[in-house]
Amino acid sequence: MLILGIETSCDETAVGIVRDGRELRANVIASQAALHAAHGGVVPELASRQHIRDLQPTLQRALADAGVALADVDAVAVTHGPGLAGALISGVNTAKALAMTLNVPLLGVNHLEGHIYAAWLAASGPGRAPAPSPAPSNEPGFPLACLVASGGHTDLILMEGHGDYRLVGRTRDDAAGEAFDKAARVLGLGFPGGPEIQRAAESLAAFTEVDDSPGTRRAQAATPLPRAWMRDTLDFSFSGVKTALLHRAQDVGLYPPSESIDQDADRLVAQLAREFQESLVDVMTAKLLTMAERYQARGLILGGGVTANARLRQRVRADSPLPVVIPPPALCTDNGAMIAAGAFYQYQRGDIADLSLDVDPSLPFGQPA
Ligand code: KG4
Ligand code: ZN
């Protein structure tokens, strides 16, 4: 079954084509990052308008990449929430028009469910390298402990079967991705902030080799930032570490940014980026492993833009006694293939939409624990 998946919930216009929920045939993403970078964050009106411009060319490229015609498509899937209302509408309307014209089923997929199903995509499409971690073809079995960490969510989901989700933990304030984006802004780095923080943190190694005699500011910068453990709950809170980072940046003279030459600035930024990343990675890794143990999970799945983070991937793989599936970074950030993959299992459950499908910007995911 060949499913076309459309994703426009935020700032990526994305179309993926997937056979039988696993075989990745095409995954084309038109990123709007450059458009929003000038504003330091996603501007909803600009996003909606750009989706409308990019949808047709993205669709055409996906069909060409997959080497299929529209007539070969067996079902059309689309993200209908959560996300930005105007952005979601562009994708949903396009999907409806396609499903109606082709006379094939329409599937409305939850964006967060899509992030989990990226783990089912074996990167076996034409010209693609094999997946770096075993996709759950060697399925460890249910239940699976899933961390979905993105710009809008940081959720711990217990997946007890296809389509069967329990929300056992979530952030009480900022999402992890949002915290990364805000931290990057404080440190004068670009947007989106996650990859910038990662890059800055990785650059620290180069500095240490040149000179390892810590001055006062350096010692200050190298002190660990706080971790919010939220007692023994599985919830997260990232607003405290965000504020702590701002204060630290002020203390070492990085914030507010000044024009004067500061020889040490790049190194201090790298050190603070590293401390910030370590705080978030520590908490996310520990909570995910606690959850897995508490619910006797048989494996772990990571999904969402933040799980593209190299340090997080490394830590979870190193610390987990259970099998771990983490999609390649390009399938962790928003894409259409994950929507097509999730839709395949949804189709099998008979959960098919009709032309009354509407967007829901705050579409919930998972039964509360
Ligand atoms: O899932 P996603 O692409 O879009 C949403 O559903 O929100 O996630 C986007 C978020 C952004 O906040 C971005 O900064 C973060 O994922 N992100 C990262 C990395 N790559 C993207 N965060 C940390 N490290 C990364 N390498
Ligand atoms: Zn996402």
Atom from ligand 1 closest to the CA of residue 184: 14
Verify cis geometry, omega within 30 degrees of 0, for the bond prior to 256.
Answer: yes
Q: Does any ligand 1 atom lie closer than 6 A to the CB of residue 238?
A: no
Tell me how far the alpha carbon of residue 112 lies from the centroid of ligand 2, in angstroms.
7
Architecture of domain 2-133+330-368: 2-Layer Sandwich (3.30)
Q: Does any ligand 1 atom lie closer than 6 A to the CB of residue 151?
A: yes
Question: Is residue 149 within 8 Å of residue 308, measured between CB atoms?
Answer: no
Task: Output the pLDDT for position 215.
Answer: 79
Task: Output the pLDDT for position 209.
Answer: 61
Tell me how far the alpha carbon of residue 308 lies from the centroid of ligand 1, in angstroms.
7
Question: Is residue 111 within 8 Å of residue 338, measured between CB atoms?
Answer: no
- How far is 223 from 270, CA to CA, in rounded Å? 13
- Please state the pTM of the whole predicted model: 0.95
Q: What is the CATH number of domain 140-326?
A: 3.30.420.40
- Residue 216 has a CB neighbour count (10 Å cut-off) of 8
Atom from ligand 1 closest to the CA of residue 115: 1
Domain ranges of the chain: 2-133+330-368, 140-326
Tell me how far the alpha carbon of residue 333 lies from the centroid of ligand 2, in angstroms.
6
Task: Output the pLDDT for position 334.
Answer: 98
Number of residues that make up the chain: 369
Candidates 333, 362, 363: which one to mutate for ligand 1, based on the most atoms within 8 Å of Cβ?
Answer: 333
Q: Kindly give the confidence (pLDDT) of every residue in the chain, 369 residues in length, as a single tens digit, with 9 standing for 90 and above.
A: 999 999 999 999 999 999 999 999 999 999 999 999 999 899 999 999 999 999 999 999 999 999 999 999 999 999 999 999 999 999 999 999 999 999 999 999 999 999 999 999 964 433 344 444 445 544 678 999 999 999 999 999 999 999 999 999 999 999 999 999 999 999 999 999 999 999 999 999 998 665 655 678 989 999 999 999 999 999 999 999 999 999 999 999 999 988 787 878 999 999 999 999 999 999 999 999 999 999 999 999 999 999 999 999 999 999 999 999 999 999 999 999 999 999 999 999 999 999 999 999 999 999 998
Q: Does any ligand 1 atom lie closer than 6 A to the CB of residue 181?
A: yes
Task: Output the pLDDT for position 263.
Answer: 79
Tell me how far the alpha carbon of residue 332 lies from the centroid of ligand 2, in angstroms.
8
Task: Output the pLDDT for position 260.
Answer: 80
The values of phi and psi at residue 252, to 5°, are -95, 5
Q: Does any ligand 1 atom lie closer than 6 A to the CB of residue 333?
A: yes
User: In CATH terms, are 2-133+330-368 and 140-326 the same topology?
Assistant: yes
Task: Output the pLDDT for position 122.
Answer: 67
Closest Cα to atom 3 of ligand 1: 333
Q: Does any ligand 1 atom lie closer than 6 A to the CB of residue 114?
A: no
Task: Output the pLDDT for position 211.
Answer: 60
Q: Does any ligand 1 atom lie closer than 6 A to the CB of residue 191?
A: no
Task: Output the pLDDT for position 344.
Answer: 97
Question: Is residue 8 within 8 Å of residue 90, measured between CB atoms?
Answer: yes
Q: Does any ligand 1 atom lie closer than 6 A to the CB of residue 334?
A: yes
